[in-house]
Amino acid sequence: MNLPFHTNDTSATRDESGIFYHTEPNRPYPTPPEEQRTPHQKISFLQMAELTVDGTELACDRDSQIVLPPF
């Protein structure tokens, strides 16, 4: 089975919250040692989405545009 690997973290302010996670879509499973993987297999993507409350469930739309506040 070839499934993308996910880890995540969350962040919240008073009015907004988000989830941050990375995927490794080309990583083979079972994963061989790092030195045996090709550069293509080591590609990872950092992604983020705004978290919302839908009734009693926490939800996110990873295709929705996010506007970040100025730093």
Compute the average pLDDT of residues 1-7: 50
C-alpha separations of 29 from 1, 5, 15, 33, 43 in Å: 7, 9, 39, 11, 14
Compute the average pLDDT of residues 2-31: 77
Print burial letters for 2-37: b (CB count within 10 Å at least 16), e (below 16): eeeeeeeeeeeeeeeebbebebbeebeeeeeeeeee
Per the prediction, the chain carries an average pLDDT of 83
DSSP 8-state secondary structure symbol assigned to residue 29 = S
- Domain ranges across the chain: 1-20+34-51
What's the pLDDT score for residue 40? Answer: 95
> Distance between CA atoms of 20 and 48, rounded to whole angstroms?
4
Rounded to two decimals, the pTM is 0.62
